[in-house]
């Protein structure tokens, strides 16, 4: 039996006053339960060296609801509260697996306001979604239809910093199927002036979506800084800043979706560089140009490749793609960032970014042929070393991609 891709469809909706109040209470209760459970698990380990799991925190939740202080937890649907405990269990699993840092407490002002409902806590019939504890269905703007016959297995309701309400439905999408095999492969080099440079020589300009609203954002932030903390005017000014940020983020996300779909459809193998964006963002001169684009771009490439039966290979971040001649394999000693074109001793003149993309393609295909891992930053330290060594061995003396 063929397996189908699970895909989330996100829609905006407009709640009534009663629905908004109920959801806001639920968001607060979800945050409270998560923080209580995190505190309980932390204290159990620090004081008694005892690990407690989801089942234990679930029993604690039942006890909390019976106390006078936390009785209000029983006024909202229990499913989002249980899901918060499951999310905390997942966070600890990633921590113990050394894939993430220790879980942090959720902040009332900074944490994402959301609640997750499973099938027992919502009803979806005839295109209408009704959540637990609500008498009326949500007023959803169906910007695109759900796949025919699809039934949501999970519904997540959220509210962003700009005050917009969204509902995300997780469904099995039978329309997403692997594409026919393509023999092409492409190397992709991420940059600043050009967001992407392909090994074919094609360059995609960095749209710099924040540039259009930069002056407006600066003015709104200055107005916000002059407002008295805790005042209603400050809340209005904060909302104005948030709306500008969300407009920029929406444009960036839409552009990345359009940008990542084509290479996935046209190529069987896509080779990228394993960049440490977090470290690069520490450079104040580069942060605005990099922004969130590189991380989100890679994420989109990976999940779309998974959907359509393609392969994404990440080459070790220390591979000298810019300093290596893609024609003769000569390694230059230095290559300052301002040098955009250079000539090798063999007489070949290189565009820095195109040359890097060609070298990434050659290295990625060599690493894949050697059988090394392709996602070094998400593997074990031994796996990282293996990928680095395989990349170095496979590309040493390489004459052409």
- DSSP state letter for 144: S
Q: Does residue 193 have an active-site annotation?
A: no
Contact status, residue 168 vs residue 115, Cβ threshold 8 Å: no
Neighbours of 95 (CB within 10 A): 13
Cross-strand bridge partners of residue 190: 196
Strands 165-173 vs 154-159: parallel, antiparallel or unpaired: antiparallel
Q: Does residue 189 have an active-site annotation?
A: yes
CA 398/CA 393 separation, integer angstroms: 10
Q: Does residue 213 have an active-site annotation?
A: no
Q: What are the C-alpha distances in Å from 239 to residues 164, 207, 236?
A: 11, 25, 5
Q: Which of 321, 322, 300 is nearest to 312 (CA)?
A: 300
The gap from C-alpha 181 to its chain's centroid, in whole angstroms, comes to: 27
- Residue 109 — left, alpha, or beta (φ > 0 → left; ψ -120 to 50 → alpha)? alpha
Token pair, residue 358, equals 């060609």
Place of tokens 């504890």: 133
Identified catalytic residue from 22, 189, 210, 302: 189
Identified catalytic residue from 22, 273, 316, 390: 273
Q: Which of 97, 100, 65 is nearest to 81 (CA)?
A: 65
Place of tokens 């995190």: 38
Q: Which of 353, 365, 352 is nearest to 398 (CA)?
A: 365
Cross-strand bridge partners of residue 242: none
> Strand, coil or helix: what is 286?
helix
Report the half-sphere exposure of 329 (CA within 13 A, side-chain side). Answer: 12
Neighbours of 353 (CB within 10 A): 23
- DSSP state letter for 181: P
Residues forming the active site = 189, 273, 353
């Amino acid at each position: 039996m063929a397996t189908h891709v699970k895909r989330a469809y996100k829609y905006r909706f407009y709640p009534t006053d009663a629905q908004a109040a109920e959801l806001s209470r639920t968001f607060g209760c979800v945050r409270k339960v998560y923080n209580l459970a995190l505190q309980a698990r932390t204290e159990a380990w620090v004081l008694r060296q005892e690990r407690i799991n989801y089942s234990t925190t679930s029993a604690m939740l039942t006890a909390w609801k019976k106390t006078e202080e936390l009785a209000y937890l029983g006024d909202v649907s229990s499913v989002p509260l249980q899901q918060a405990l499951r999310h905390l269990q997942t966070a600890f699993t990633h921590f113990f697996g050394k894939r993430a840092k220790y879980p942090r407490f959720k902040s009332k002002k900074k944490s994402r306001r959301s609640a997750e409902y499973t099938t027992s806590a919502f009803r979806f019939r005839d295109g209408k979604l009704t959540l637990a504890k609500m008498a009326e269905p949500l007023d959803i703007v169906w910007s695109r239809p759900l796949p025919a016959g699809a039934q949501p297995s999970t519904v997540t309701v959220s509210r962003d910093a700009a005050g917009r309400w969204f509902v995300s439905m997780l469904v099995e999408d039978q329309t997403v199927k692997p594409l026919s095999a393509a023999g092409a492969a492409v190397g992709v080099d991420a940059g600043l002036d050009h967001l992407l440079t392909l090994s074919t020589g094609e360059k995609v300009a960095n749209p710099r979506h924040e540039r259009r609203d930069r002056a407006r954002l600066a003015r709104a932030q200055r107005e916000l800084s002059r407002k008295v903390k805790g005042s209603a005017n400050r809340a209005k000014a904060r909302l104005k800043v948030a709306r500008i940020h969300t407009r920029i983020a929406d444009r960036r996300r839409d552009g990345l979706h359009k940008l990542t779909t084509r290479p996935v459809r046209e190529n069987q193998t896509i080779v990228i560089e394993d960049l440490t964006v977090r470290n690069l963002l520490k450079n104040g001169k580069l942060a605005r140009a990099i922004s969130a684009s590189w991380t989100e771009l890679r994420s989109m490439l990976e999940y779309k490749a998974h959907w359509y039966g393609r392969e994404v290979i990440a080459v070790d971040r220390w591979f000298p793609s810019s300093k290596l001649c893609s024609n003769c394999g000569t390694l230059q000693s230095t290559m300052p960032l301002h040098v955009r074109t250079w000539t090798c001793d063999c007489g070949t003149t290189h565009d820095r970014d195109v040359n890097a993309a060609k070298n990434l393609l050659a290295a990625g295909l060599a690493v894949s042929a050697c059988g090394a891992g392709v996602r070094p930053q998400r593997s074990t330290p031994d796996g990282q070393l293996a990928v680095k060594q395989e990349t170095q061995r496979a590309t040493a003396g390489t004459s052409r991609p």
